[in-house]
């Protein structure tokens, strides 16, 4: 967005005038082109259909460019970065998400640095090949693996963090890339552009005092295929008979349930405590250290890919794009 100098209102940024706002782009050792949605979309209105739109645009231009930068509102950027990490299988080029906390015309905006460095990262090559070959998220001097991020702050420039995986790169006086942390494509395999996401999923966050009728209503939601269960600590949940019985019945009826921790960092360790042993016996999927954003995206992707019920748990508990340990 750009702020009107007189009225102070925000309007969509015209990328035809990008050099007017960011003349520093002329100094970059690369050529850039831009594509914009016809109607600007607030990130709060993002949907799986729009993720498909992004994937299709990347697919069309994939062989014409060395890297891609996606400008996205920060509110749902982690969801989109996680989704595209699964939809773009075996990437051989970088796809970098970025945005800003302040509009590009604001005196103190963080948009310029975020955009300039994101383009530098997307253009970064070594021996004629891209250094980064995955979906990343760049914000406030750090590049993270996209499917490892969570928005942690709505008021500070450091809006994102990746508590379970270190930054892939940091921007200081120079760009420092931690090459040992980067995700690598499988040799000899082509990039696959997936375009089917099944959004018949939900989230149930546990809290002290959660009542039986509410849990039954969520588990009985018509058309629900899968559920992300946000549990306490290392994957713990109430041990009351009604709760475990309801969960067990839902799983036996075909509902896929993934156990993730409510904590911003750390991992689910089912069976470590008595409060999670029952969940392990019910055959809940162990989300390990996956974020809620990536857990949702992975469910949509696997359901959309038609993975069989018999192999779903095994595949989900396997790291596909570096989203979990």
* pLDDT tens readout for residues 108-120: 889 889 999 999 9
Q: What is the mean pLDDT of the chain?
A: 94
In terms of Cα–Cα distance, which of 165, 109, 94, 163 is closest to 140? 109
**Per-residue confidence (pLDDT) for residue 269, from 0 to 100:** 96
**Per-residue confidence (pLDDT) for residue 39, from 0 to 100:** 84
2-193 against 201-316: fold identical: yes
d(CA 203, CA 181): 30
CATH hierarchy code of domain 201-316:
3.40.50.40
**Per-residue confidence (pLDDT) for residue 316, from 0 to 100:** 98
- What number is the average pLDDT over the span 156-180? 96
More confident residue, 49 or 23: 49
- What number is the average pLDDT over the span 267-275? 91
- What number is the average pLDDT over the span 45-68? 97
Domain 2-193 fold is: Rossmann fold (3.40.50)
pLDDT digits (tens, 9 = 90+) for 216-229: 999 999 999 999 99
Lowest mean pLDDT among 12-16, 41-45, 161-165: 12-16
**Per-residue confidence (pLDDT) for residue 107, from 0 to 100:** 75
d(CA 147, CA 298): 10
**Per-residue confidence (pLDDT) for residue 21, from 0 to 100:** 73
pTM of the model: 0.94
- What number is the average pLDDT over the span 136-153? 97
Domain ranges of the chain: 2-193, 201-316
* φ, ψ of residue 71 in degrees (nearest 5): -90, 130
**Per-residue confidence (pLDDT) for residue 2, from 0 to 100:** 74
Does residue 13 surpass a pLDDT of 80? no
Lowest mean pLDDT among 19-28, 209-218, 250-259: 19-28
**Per-residue confidence (pLDDT) for residue 7, from 0 to 100:** 80
Q: How many CB atoms lie within 10 A of CB 4?
A: 11
Assign 3-class secondary structure to the chain.
Answer: CEECCCCCCEECCCHHHHHHHCHHHHHCCCCCCCCCCCCCCCHHHCCHHHHHHHHHHHHHHCCCCCCEEEECCHHHHHHHHHHHHHHEECCCCCEEEECCCCCCCCCCCCHHHHHHHHHHHHHCEECCEECCCCEEEEECCEEEEHHHCEECCCCCCCCEECCCCCCCEEECCCEEECHHHCCCCCCCCCCEECCCCCCCEEEEECCCCCCHHHHHHHHCCCCCCEEEEEEECCCECCCCHHHHHHHHHHHHCCCEEEEEECCCCCCCCCCCCHHHHHHHHCCCEECCCCCHHHHHHHHHHHHHCCCCHHHHHHHHCCCCCCCCC
d(CA 290, CA 182): 17
Which position has the token pair 């690369």?
A: 30
**Per-residue confidence (pLDDT) for residue 20, from 0 to 100:** 75
Percent of the chain with pLDDT over 70: 98
Lowest mean pLDDT among 81-85, 100-104, 272-276: 100-104
pLDDT-based confidence at residue 41 (cuts at 50, 70, 90): confident
Q: How many CB atoms lie within 10 A of CB 239?
A: 13
Does residue 302 surpass a pLDDT of 80? yes
């Amino acid at each position: 967005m750009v702020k009107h100098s007189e009225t102070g209102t925000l309007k969509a940024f015209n990328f035809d005038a990008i050099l007017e706002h960011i003349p520093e782009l002329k100094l970059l050792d690369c050529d850039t082109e831009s594509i914009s949605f016809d109607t600007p979309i607030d990130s709060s209105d993002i949907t799986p259909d729009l993720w498909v739109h992004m994937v299709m645009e990347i697919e069309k231009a994939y062989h014409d460019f060395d890297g891609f930068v996606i400008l996205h509102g920060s509110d749902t950027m982690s969801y989109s970065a996680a989704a595209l990490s699964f939809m773009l299988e075996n990437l051989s080029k970088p796809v970098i998400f970025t945005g800003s906390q302040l509009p590009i015309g604001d005196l103190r905006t963080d948009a310029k640095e975020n955009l300039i460095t994101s383009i530098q990262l997307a253009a970064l090559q070594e021996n004629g090949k891209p250094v980064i070959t995955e979906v990343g998220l760049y914000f406030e001097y750090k590049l993270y693996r996209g499917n490892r991020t969570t928005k942690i702050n709505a008021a500070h420039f450091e809006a994102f963090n990746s508590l379970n995986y270190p930054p892939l790169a940091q921007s200081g006086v120079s760009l420092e890339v931690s090459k040992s942390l980067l995700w690598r494509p499988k040799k000899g395999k082509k990039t696959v552009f997936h375009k089917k996401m099944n959004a018949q999923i939900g989230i149930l966050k546990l809290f002290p005092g959660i009542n039986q009728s509410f849990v039954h209503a969520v588990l009985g939601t018509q058309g629900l295929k899968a559920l992300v269960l946000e549990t306490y600590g290392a994957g713990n949940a109430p041990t009351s008979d009604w709760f475990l019985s309801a969960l067990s019945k839902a799983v036996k009826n075909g509902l896929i349930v993934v156990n993730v921790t409510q904590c911003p960092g750390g991992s689910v360790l089912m069976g470590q405590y008595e409060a999670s042993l029952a969940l392990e016996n019910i055959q809940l999927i162990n989300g390990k250290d996956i974020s809620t954003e990536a857990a949702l995206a992975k469910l949509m992707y696997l359901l959309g890919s038609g993975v069989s019920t018999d192999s779903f748990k095994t595949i989900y508990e396997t790291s596909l794009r570096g989203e979990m340990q």
